[in-house]
Structure 1
Amino acid sequence: MIQTYNVGTINWEPWEWILIPGLIIIIYFIGARYKIKKIGNNPEYKYFLTGLMFNVFAGLFFGAIYIFYYGGGDTISYYSSAIPLARLFWESPAEYVDVMLHSSEITENYSRMEWEAFTFNVFTNSTGIPLSFISHDPKSFMVCKLTSPLLILTGSSYFATTILISAITYIPMWLLYRRLLAHFPILLKELALAVIFIPSVAFWGSGIMKDSFTLAGTVLAVYSFDNLLDKKNINIKKVGYTILLLMSFLIILWIKPYILNILIPSLGIWIVALSLKNVKNMIFRFIVMPIVLVSGIGGSIFVLQSLGSSMDKFALDKAIDTAQITQEDLKREEQYGGNNFDIGELDGSIPNLLSKFPIATFAGLFRPTLLEVSSPVMLLSGLENFFLLGLLVLTLYKIKFKLIWQLIKSTPVLAFCFTFSILFAFMLGITTPNFGALVRFKIPLMPFLTAALLIIYSTDKILMAGEEEEHNR
């Protein structure tokens, strides 16, 4: 009988008590050395090491909560199913590579029974066998495949692997922070808070989970796209950013393709905003705007339709049906502890969908509220939502709407941030009527929403810095 793994079980080895603190110390000293090397010409690096360790300890806290508080969960399932892959590497590297490269194709064409028969032929008593409900789902198994090289490095230690994932997924967040600083160099502290110090993003985005990889992919895609738009970057760099953008899209497509349904149109809006910004003549802008807008939307739809076969049930023509099915699935009391909320029934029609826009978007952006919190983990999200809602109210009170609109028009990255945040929140509000899932699924929008609100709130500071720079010239 081939060995399987009990979900919620972590087998501890004595050497892990040395490996785990040792790995933390190594990461700390590497981060400290890198900070010292860079901080001379880049004052933002004063946040680098603090952010890195914040992410690492958030990952450890995430693992501890799932093991000692919940007694198991998705992260343990992924970990348990990645262990046989790591052991297969040592036993038969060729078969390991074959499973890594081709298992998704096989899974899609095999029934569950056929897939289980296939895995019993590949895995052995010494490797164990992945959990069936994970390995037969290509998107879930992709998490295991991406995790397995790290398990190979750490001797299959859960917490050591979590530490490595935390450190690796911090890199895209840091890159995004620095990229936003290129647009708003005066907002060192504000953007650091928005991108690298959001507790829920660090917590849910630092463990062995789908969310860690898709958050990193989303952030890297935005970072790469912004660099491609930067005229200062030479062509050879743009080739690298193009490759990075495509890799980011692939990671998202492999694990959570629905994110692309929001990300790609939002990037299209970014191009539209940039095009309109570069047209100075008001009459010409009025003529060009519809053309550019239609081109941007049309291009986004074309890209999404081209990905249709890869996106399966998340393809555009199936998106509404999928939203209905997902909503019903997550309403079941046994899932996520029954922490459900109701935005009303979906009937599959566009008018019905649009009628839910206000309540669904508010839910995706600002729920659960503090009054709806029912667990310590949810309290974290409740406090953040309270802060974000308060920041929105203060911003609207402090800054004139005309000035806000001018800042968004003059800074296309802000147009992207708001478009992506609002559309993503709407999608989540429609498909995720459960707080337990919502707080985890919403982390890709959090850095962009928080950054956009803090940038708008700091309008006076930005304008003063601009005037001072103009005066110095």
Structure 2
Amino acid sequence: MQIITIYDFILLPVYLGIFYYFVKKKAAFFTDFNMKKIFFIAFVLRMFGSVTYSLLVQYYYGYGDSFTYYKGSDFIHDQLVQNLGNIKYFFVSSAEFQQWYNTEVGDMNFSGYTGITSANAIMKISALLSFISFNKFMIISLFFGLFSFAGQWKLFQVFNDYNKGKNQTMLAYAVLYSPSIWFWGSGLMKDSVCLGAMGFIVHILYKNIIKKQISFREWLILPFLIYLVSIIKSYIIIILAVSIMVVVFVRYVLQLKNLLVRLIVILLFLIFSGFVIAFADFSTQINDLVEESYSQVKSNQQNYQNIQNEDETSKAGFELGNFDPSLSSMIIKSPGVILSCLFRPFLWESKKIIILFTALESTLLLLVTLYLLLKTRVVGFFRIIFSNQLILFCFIISILFALIIGFTTFNFGTMTRYKIILLPFYYFMLVAIFSKLMEKNRSE
């Protein structure tokens, strides 16, 4: 399928120039030269990632989710050009949208994708962008990359502010320059939208609640961002909400001065949680969450399996077919799943050049984690986590994402893509722990 044309390459420098102009204007407001430098490098990497991923999908894979979304977007674009009244289909259910597509086109090989709500949302966003990008695949991809960059920059600002500007360059390398994030989070994909939206959501919550810098405009934007992520990958919002609730509970408990009262509150919480699990059939709800996230991950699984022909070199080792998505099964398998998601593929599992780059990054992440565990003697590692609410939030959100992604991916390629949502949080956690450790060493 030839999606990229000569017109994409002609328009590419024009749009990159326009984006650069606005980024330069934005950077003019920065008084810190290092922040300005980080801002520009992050922007360049994100645009580079958007272009290279587009080329990879076209000239290496020859297929991909991005092409699926573009094909749906192209259909919407053509229908709106023919009749502006078709804009009503932006507000119908995915089932009605699929029926519309079947009536107009009737391509049964593609029809199933139009009936998936999450895929449907990306098609509609892409279709809107098509009218300011001459409906060219690479240019639409640039807009997705730009949104992802903007959201990640907001997230970086949160982390940098909380870390009081310490190890700023190191934080930039971890959160903004990490190859997995700028490459896999820059194309016409769900991941780019979720990555960008998550950055904006966390920034709004941090600024308005923690910093108490209330912005009415941001509170109006927040529900839209939450809705956007929820229709694309609903489990992200569930994990975000659970992480916030746990942090609030821990913060409340730590504020209790009386040790006995603190222990009683924790005990009551554990007893209550036990009753919820035992009598509220919590395992069924977990099962629904896992099944839902798996269905989202699986939306293009058939494409991958047909082309790879069950390629054993790309298997991640966790398939829902071998997994009973119950509470007991999750508890038993969760340690291996978390470690697998965070630190695999290992170097010896790299049978493809793309997987090798991922393996190098995962190996570095594993070594840094082990280094900090040793330097803090393990106990100190978790003491720092539980004594800082944002670090704790990042820890919880990383573990929960690792669980869901580890349980629902079927090969290393997809696992690498889907876990980029947790990487900025996990990377910040490591940088923050390192900063605390260095601060402690200097004071001794």
Structure 1 length-normalised TM: 0.81
Q: Deviations over 1:177-225 (max 9, x none)?
A: 0011121021311221222111111111111111111222233332223
1:418–1:442 Cα change, 3 Å:
same
| Deviation for aligned residue 1:226 | 2.2
- What are the superposed Cα offsets for residues 292-343 of structure 1, whole Å, 9 maximum, x if unpaired? 78899999xxxxx9xxxxxxxx964523555788999969953656322435
CA distance in 2, matches of 1:289, 1:228: 29
Paired residue for 1:229?
Answer: 209
Distance 1:269 1:9, change over 3 A: same
Of the structure 1 ranges 388-397 and 431-440, higher mean CA displacement relative to structure 2 is found in 431-440
The alpha-carbon distance between structure 1 residues 279 and 130, as it changes in their structure 2 partners (threshold 3 A), is farther
Q: CA deviation at 1:162?
A: 1.3
Quickly say closer, same or farther: Cα 1:215–1:315, change in 2 above 3 A.
Answer: farther
State the match for 2:315 in structure 1. 340
Conserved? CA contact 1:224–1:244, under 8 Å: no
1:46 is paired with a residue whose SS is helix
Does 2:61 correspond to 1:70?
yes
1:12 maps onto 2:5 in alignment: yes
Deviates more, 1:219-228 or 1:50-59: 219-228
Quickly say closer, same or farther: Cα 1:144–1:79, change in 2 above 3 A: same
Partner of 2:279: none
Gaps in structure 2 of 5+ consecutive residues: 277-281
Aligned to 1:155: 134
CA contact (8 A) 2:239 2:401 kept: yes
Q: Does the Cα contact within 8 Å between 1:404 and 1:456 map onto a contact in 2?
A: yes
Counterpart for residue 5 of structure 1: none
CA-CA distance at 1:289 after TM superposition: 4.1
Question: Can you list the C-alpha shifts for 1:334-364, whole angstroms capped at 9, x where unaligned?
Answer: 3656322435832344322221112111111
Q: Which residue of 1 aligns with 2:16?
A: 24
Q: Distance in 2 between matches of 1:295 and 1:40?
A: 50
Closer, same or farther in 2 for the Cα pair 1:327/1:83, shift >3 Å? closer
Q: Does 2:188 correspond to 1:208?
A: yes
Task: Give the 3-state SS of the residue equivalent to 2:229 in structure 1.
Answer: helix
Tell whether the 8 Å contact from 2:181 to 2:420 is kept in structure 1 after alignment. Answer: yes
Preserved CA contact (<8 Å) 2:66 2:189: yes
- Taking a change above 3 Å as real, the CA distance of residues 316 and 405 of structure 1, as seen in their structure-2 partners, is closer
Corresponding residue of 1:184:
163
- The 5 Å alignment of 1:352-367 reads 352-367=329-344
- Matches of 1:346 and 1:325 in 2, distance apart? 14
Matches within 5 A, 1:371-410: 371-410=348-387
Aligned equivalent of 1:424: 401
The alignment yields a C-alpha RMSD, in angstroms, of 3.3
Give 3-state SS (helix, strand or coil) of 2:92's partner. Answer: helix
Which deviates more, 78-87 or 289-298? 289-298
Alpha-carbon deviations, 1:237-274, whole Å to 9, x = none?
1x444434322221122111132332221121222233
Aligned to 1:266: 243
Q: 2:94 aligns with which of 97, 104, 109?
A: 104
**In structure 2, which of residues 411, 415, 422 is the aligned counterpart of residue 434 of structure 1?**
411
CA distance in 2, matches of 1:129, 1:165: 28
What is residue 112 of structure 2 aligned with on the other side? 133
Question: Mapping of 1:305-320 within 5 angstroms?
Answer: 316=286, 318-319=288-289
1:166 is aligned to 145
Q: Is this contact kept in 1: 2:318–2:409, CA < 8 A?
A: no
Return 80-89 or 398-407, whichever deviates more: 398-407
Query: Are the aligned partners of 1:323 and 1:430 in contact in 2 as well (CA < 8 Å)?
Result: no
Give percent identity, aligned residues only.
23
Task: Output the CA distance in 2 between the equivalents of 1:46 and 1:324.
Answer: 39
- Displacement of 1:13 in angstroms is 4.7
CA distance in 2, matches of 1:359, 1:430: 10
Instruction: Evaluate the alpha carbon distance shift between residue 60 and residue 464 of structure 1 in structure 2; reply closer, same or farther with a 3 A threshold.
Output: same
SS at the partner of 1:154?
coil
Q: How many residues align?
A: 430
- Hey, what's the Cα distance between the residues in 1 that align with 2:44 and 2:261? 51
Give the C-alpha shift of residue 277 in structure 1: 4.1
Supply the distance in 1 between the matched residues of 2:167 and 2:210 (Cα, whole angstroms): 20
Give the aligned partner of residue 446 of structure 1: 423
Equivalent position to 1:88, from 79, 93, 97:
79
Is the Cα contact below 8 Å between 1:408 and 1:415 reproduced in 2? yes
Structure 1: state its 5+ residue gaps.
Answer: 1-7, 122-127, 300-304, 306-313, 469-473
The one-letter code matched in structure 2 to 1:214 is C
- Is 1:247 aligned to residue 224 of structure 2? yes
Residues 41 and 436 (structure 1 numbering): CA distance in 2 closer, same or farther, change over 3 Å? closer
Indicate conservation of the 8 Å contact 1:367/1:385, yes or no: yes
- Structure 1 residues 273-312: aligned runs within 5 Å: 273-290=250-267
- Contact 2:286–2:326 (CA under 8 A) maintained in structure 1: no
Q: Taking structure 1 as reference, are residues 100 and 346 closer, same or farther at Cα in structure 2, changes over 3 Å only?
A: same
Against the structure 1 CA distance between its residues 356 and 71, is the aligned structure 2 distance closer, same or farther, given a 3 Å change threshold? Answer: same
CA distance 1:90–1:133, change in 2 (3 Å): same
CA distance in 1, matches of 2:274, 2:238: 12
Aligned residue identity for 1:10: I
